Amino acid sequence: MEKTRLAAIDVGNDSLKGIFGELDHEIQIPNIIARDVEDRPVIGLEELNNQDPLDGIHIRVHSPALYENNAIYRVGHLATRSGNATELDPGSSKSEEDQTLVMLFTALALDAVHDENKNLFKHSNKVVEANYTLGTGLPLREVKEGKDVGYRSKLLGSVHQVEFLVTPKYQGIKVNLKFEEVKVYPEGFAAFINLVMDNDLKIINKDLIDKRIIIQDIGGLSTDIAVIKNRKVDDDRAQGFNLGVSESLDAIREEIRSKYGVELDSRSDVVEIITKKNDRNHIMVKGSRTSVHDIVDRILLDLAKKQYRHLRNVWQRNSQTEIAYFIGGGSIVLKEYLKGLNNSLDGYNIDFFEDEKESVWMMANAYYKLIADFARKNQKEAKPEAKAEEKKTVKN
C-alpha cells in the first residue's frame, strides 16, 4: 500500500489555507489565478531559484476533473501582477469552479515537493508520485444541494498532475496526485468542531458543547449560518446566502481607482488597507497619506446591515439560541460595524475571535481535526485485518 499523507485544505474565497502531515507544514495562497503562456519572461534563472516559490507559482495542470484541461496558470501572488487575473465571482459554486481545483492541486503539489518531504514520496526523473488523504469542505448551501458528492467523485479515482514551469526551486518537476480518501465536510459543522474540540476530538469547551449556538461564517462570496442543537447542525435550519465581502471589496477598490487613480491589485490589498494596525483606511496618493475612511465606512456599513438582518431573522426563528459566533475572514472586516449595530439595536449575545489567525484558519483547523480522526480510526480497523491476513498466510 502506498504511503499516504494527511492534508486539510480550506479553499477560501480570499485565500487557500492548507495544513499537512503531522501539523508540520502550512500553506496560505491568495485565491487568484491567471491564464498564462509556458515561457514567462524571467531575468536570470539563478536569481529565480533564490526566490520564494509561493511568490512565483507558474504551473500546467492536467486533470480529468477540470473543464479546461492542460491549461497554464499563474497562481496566487504572481497572478495579482497579471492583467487577466480572476477571483471567484459572487453567485458561483465553489464545487463547480475550475479555480477551486486548480488552487487545491497547487497546494498539494507544493507540499509534495517541499524540502522536508523529499523522502516521503516516490521520485523518478523529476516526477513525484504523491498520495493524500484529504479533508476539505464546501459551503452549507452546496452540501444541502448534494454537490459534495460530485465534488468528491471528481477527486477520487483519477490522477491529477501539476507541472511546475517557471517556478522558483521547482522548475521542471511534475507531481502526480492521487487520493487514498477524500472527505468533504459542511463548513458550519466544521466550525462547531473547531470551537469545542481539540486535535484528538476531545472536548475542550464544556461550557459550549450543549448550548444552542448560531455560527455565522462570512466569506468572500457567501455566508453560511449554522444552527447547532444537540451537538449537531440542524440541517433544516441551516442556511446559505450569496452574500459575502467580495462585492464590497470590489466596490471599494473601484471607487478608490475612480476617485484617486490608485490601482489595487486584488481584494487582499483592500483587506490589508482596512484591517492593518497602523494607518487603517489610508492609502498613498502620489506620495501623500490619504484617508479613504468615508468610502470604506459607507460600503462596509451597508454590508454589515445586511449581515445583521440575516442574524436577526435566524435568531427569531431559533429563539432559544444562547450565543452567536461570527467567524471567517469577512467577520474580521465587518467586526466593528456589526458590534456597533448590535449595541444600538437588539443587543444579542454575539462573539468574535480576537485572534485573527484563528478565525481565518478555523476551517482548515477543523478539517484537519476531522480527517486526522478518520485516519486514526481507519488505521485501527486495518490492523486486525492485517493480523488476520498474516495468520492466514502462516497457515498456508
Would you say residue 45 has pLDDT above 60? no
pLDDT at 128: 95
pTM value is 0.83
Mean pLDDT along residues 203-227: 82
Residue pair 280/274 in contact (Cβ under 8 Å)? The answer is yes
Considering Cα of 209, then 210, then 216, then 217, what sign does the dihedral take? positive
Residue pair 88/242 in contact (Cβ under 8 Å)? The answer is no
115: CB partners within 8 A, 6+ apart: none
Residue 223 exposure: Cα atoms within 13 Å on the Cβ side: 26
CATH, domain 210-360, list 3.40.50.2000, 3.40.250.10, 3.40.50.880, 3.30.420.40:
3.30.420.40
Residue pair 192/362 in contact (Cβ under 8 Å)? The answer is no
Would you say residue 236 has pLDDT above 90? no
- Going from N- to C-terminal start, the domains of the chain cover 5-189+365-384, 210-360
Q: What is the percent of the chain where pLDDT is above 70?
A: 92
Would you say residue 293 has pLDDT above 70? yes
pLDDT at 328: 81
Considering the domain delimited by 5-189+365-384, tell me its CATH architecture: 2-Layer Sandwich (3.30)
Strand partners of residue 229: 232
Would you say residue 46 has pLDDT above 60? no
Measured in whole angstroms, the distance separating CA 161 from the mean position of its chain's CA atoms is 21
Mean pLDDT along residues 65-93: 85
pLDDT digits (tens, 9 = 90+) for 341-363: 999 999 999 998 766 677 778 88
Mean pLDDT along residues 311-336: 90
pLDDT digits (tens, 9 = 90+) for 260-284: 999 887 888 898 898 887 888 899 9
Phi then psi dihedrals of residue 146, to 5 deg: 80, 15
Would you say residue 175 has pLDDT above 90? yes
| Nearest CA among 172, 141, 144 for reference residue 244 | 141
**Cα–Cα separations (whole angstroms), residue 58 to 16, 85, 248:** 16, 13, 29
Mean pLDDT along residues 184-212: 78
Residue 173 or 221, more confident: 173
Residue with cell 486584488: 266
H-state helical runs in the chain = 45-48, 77-80, 98-112, 140-144, 147-155, 187-196, 206-209, 246-260, 267-275, 293-317, 329-344, 356-360, 362-395
| Nearest CA among 47, 178, 50 for reference residue 112 | 178
| Nearest CA among 358, 285, 368, 372 for reference residue 328 | 358
Mean pLDDT along residues 361-383: 85
Phi then psi dihedrals of residue 223, to 5 deg: -130, 130
As given in the structure block, the three cell numbers for residue 370 are: 476531522
